[in-house]
């Protein structure tokens, strides 16, 4: 059996889905036969994809200089139409090229680890991380919503099996997309092996390089409406100045779509009250950032899995998380859960985590045991089991439960 795994999502800065695709492929290759798993794209197309990914922020967010009242909107309209035409052409060419690759190499199975699968004759397995684009379109850019509306249903119907990264997501797929339960298998995400407790001197070295103090609150993730960052910033900024001066709030993550309100509050208010925005941070700094944080704050409105809280637990850290989506399933046993809209509840929990050492130590007790079952090796083993069962024409059951 030969399987091809799409790696387009790994070409730029990796989010949770990018880490999923890359780590899954790495472990699949370790567990499968040498010629069992291939990746797409390779060679010149992979190089071109990386170059386009690096250029995309400049294409999507140009700095127009207005010269009169009508010029910016006119230029923006031309730019948007041009970019949309280029996206459409590139998608058509990519589909045709990928279909030719699948035919030439005679793959038995195609695994799409993110979003809308490319249309090919090869049997397709699709990983659905969440249904937020379909169920909560107001959290996503309009062009992404339109693309899903136009293509997701038809591509979904071509898939022979689906992978969900949590039982929460699995039940959403079954319930909202009317898929038979035996066609949806839960395969939990994993945690990278380098995310573990570190010696204090190693942590301090990285914190010094990043200009951070020895104690701080931490948020990690893209800054976008679904992540609910504005609410938790307001909760933190309402704390007494003496508390904020001892424990700044560090935001780690790039700006996402529709983050203007958060940016305005950050620059106008929050950065004067102890909030530090580091932006995107290299992967080799993440373990030290988790280790150095007093507590991870994760107030998301919706999560199909939610990697940062589990990664924090793998490093032995305390977690304050929302009770939304899959977070109750993954970290609910040891994290302190709060409704994402309860601003007073977040303020109270943050203050207690900073001031009450006994409660803080209790939040950390047993967290590594919660994170331990979530490994990429296990994810790959369960995924390979799905491949084999689908290839053999058999049903696949949900593999295991969170510890």
User: Which CATH code for domain 3-190+375-391?
Assistant: 3.40.50.2000
Superfamily of domain 200-371: Glycogen Phosphorylase B; (3.40.50.2000)
SS3 239: coil
What tokens does 309 get?
A: 């809280």
Q: What Cα–Cα distance (Å) separates residue 282 from each residue in 7, 206, 289, 393?
A: 20, 11, 11, 42
Q: What is the DSSP string of 160-174?
A: EEEEESSHHHHHHHH
pLDDT of res. 16: 83
Judged against a pLDDT cut of 70, whether residue 37 lies above it is answered with: yes
Mean pLDDT score across all residues of the chain: 89
Radius of gyration of the chain (CA): 22
- Residue 65 banded pLDDT, cuts 50, 70, 90: very low
Residue 268 predicted with pLDDT over 70: yes
Phi/psi at 112 (5° precision): -100, 115
How many residues in total does the chain contain? 403
Q: In 3D, which of 214, 209, 219, 222 has the Cα closest to residue 285? A: 209
Question: In which band, very low, low, confident or very high, does the pLDDT at 279 lie, cut at 50, 70 and 90?
Answer: very high
Q: Tell me how far apart the alpha carbons of residues 157 and 326 are, in angstroms, rounded to a whole number.
A: 25
Each residue's pLDDT tens digit, 200-228: 999 999 999 999 999 999 999 999 999 99
What percent of the chain stands above pLDDT 70?
Answer: 87
Q: What is the mean pLDDT of residues 21-29?
A: 95
Q: What is the pLDDT of residues 111-162, one digit of tens each?
A: 999 989 998 889 999 999 999 999 999 999 999 999 999 989 888 888 999 9
Predicted pLDDT at 395: 53
The answer to whether the beta carbons of residues 16 and 189 sit under 8 Å apart is: yes
**Bridge partners, 223 (sequence order):** 255
pLDDT tops 50 at residue 401? no
Residue 227 and residue 321: Cα distance in Å, rounded? 11
Domain ranges of the chain: 3-190+375-391, 200-371
Average pLDDT (358-363) is 98
When comparing pLDDT for 89 and 324, which is higher? 324
Judge whether 378 and 189 are in contact, CB under 8 Å.
no
Rounded to whole angstroms, the Cα distance separating 327 from 168 reads: 9
- Neighbour-count burial of 387, counting CB atoms closer than 10 A to its CB (0-12 exposed, 13-18 middle, 19+ buried): buried
Residues 6+ apart with CB under 8 A from 88: none
Q: What is the mean pLDDT of residues 297-305?
A: 98
Question: Per-residue pLDDT for 62 more than 80?
Answer: no
Domains 3-190+375-391 and 200-371 belong to one CATH topology: yes
pLDDT at 96: 84
Whether residue 72 is predicted with pLDDT greater than 60 in this model: the reply is no
Q: Tokens representing 206?
A: 């990285």
Residue 92 has pLDDT above 90, yes or no: no
| Residue 199 pLDDT exceeds 60 | yes
Query: What pLDDT sits at residue 13?
Result: 78
| Mean pLDDT within 362-376 | 98
Q: How far apart are CA 141 and CA 49, in angstroms?
A: 21
CA distance 402 to 329: 8
- Provide the whole-model pTM: 0.89
Query: pLDDT-derived band of residue 43, with 50, 70 and 90 as boundaries?
Result: confident
Query: Between the CA of residue 353 and those of 47, 139, 212, 239, 360, what are the distances in Å?
Result: 46, 30, 19, 12, 5
Quote the pLDDT of residue 363: 98
Instruction: Decide: 176 and 135 in contact? Cβ < 8 Å.
Output: yes
**Distance of CA 259 to CAs 13, 59, 253, 264, Å?**
18, 18, 12, 9
- What backbone phi and psi angles, to 5 degrees, belong to 215? -135, 135
pLDDT of the residue at 95:
79
pLDDT over threshold 50, residue 66: no
CA 107 to chain centre: 28
């Amino acid at each position: 059996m030969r399987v091809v795994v799409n790696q387009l999502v790994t070409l730029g800065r990796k989010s949770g889905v990018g880490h999923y695709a890359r780590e899954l492929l790495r472990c699949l290759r370790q567990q499968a036969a040498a010629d069992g798993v291939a990746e797409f794209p390779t060679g010149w197309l992979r190089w071109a994809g990386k170059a386009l990914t690096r250029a995309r922020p400049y294409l999507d967010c140009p700095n127009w200089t207005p010269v009169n009242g009508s010029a910016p909107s006119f230029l923006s309209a031309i730019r948007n139409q041009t970019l949309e035409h280029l996206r459409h052409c590139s998608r058509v060419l990519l589909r045709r090229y990928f279909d030719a690759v699948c035919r030439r190499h005679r793959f038995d199975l195609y695994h799409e680890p993110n979003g809308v699968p490319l249309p090919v004759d090869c049997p397709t397995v699709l990983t659905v991380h969440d249904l937020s684009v379909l169920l909560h379109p107001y959290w996503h850019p309009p062009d992404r919503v339109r693309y899903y509306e136009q293509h997701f249903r038809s591509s979904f119907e071509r898939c022979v099996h689906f992978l969900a990264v949590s039982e929460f997501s699995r039940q959403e797929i079954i319930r909202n997309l009317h898929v038979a339960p035996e066609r949806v298998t839960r395969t939990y995400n994993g945690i990278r092996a380098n995310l573990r407790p570190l010696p204090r001197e190693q942590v301090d070295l990285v914190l010094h390089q990043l200009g951070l103090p020895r104690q701080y609150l931490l948020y990690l993730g893209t800054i976008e409406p679904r992540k609910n960052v504005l609410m938790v910033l307001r909760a933190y900024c309402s704390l007494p100045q003496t508390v904020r001066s001892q424990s700044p709030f560090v935001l780690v993550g790039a700006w996402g779509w529709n983050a203007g309100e958060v940016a305005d509050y950050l620059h106008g208010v929050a950065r004067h009250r102890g909030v530090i925005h580091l932006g995107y941070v290299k992967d080799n700094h993440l373990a030290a950032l988790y280790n150095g944080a007093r507590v991870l704050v994760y107030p998301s409105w919706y999560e199909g899995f939610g990697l940062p809280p589990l990664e924090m637990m793998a490093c032995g850290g305390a977690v304050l998380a929302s009770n939304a989506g899959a977070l109750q399933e993954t970290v609910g046993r040891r994290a302190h859960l709060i409704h994402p809209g309860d601003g007073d509840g977040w303020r109270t929990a943050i203050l207690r985590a900073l001031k009450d050492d006994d409660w803080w130590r209790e939040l950390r007790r047993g967290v590594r045991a919660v994170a331990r079952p979530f490994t990429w090796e296990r994810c790959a083993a369960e995924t390979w089991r799905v491949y084999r069962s689908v290839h053999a024409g058999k049903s696949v059951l949900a593999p295991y439960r969170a510890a």
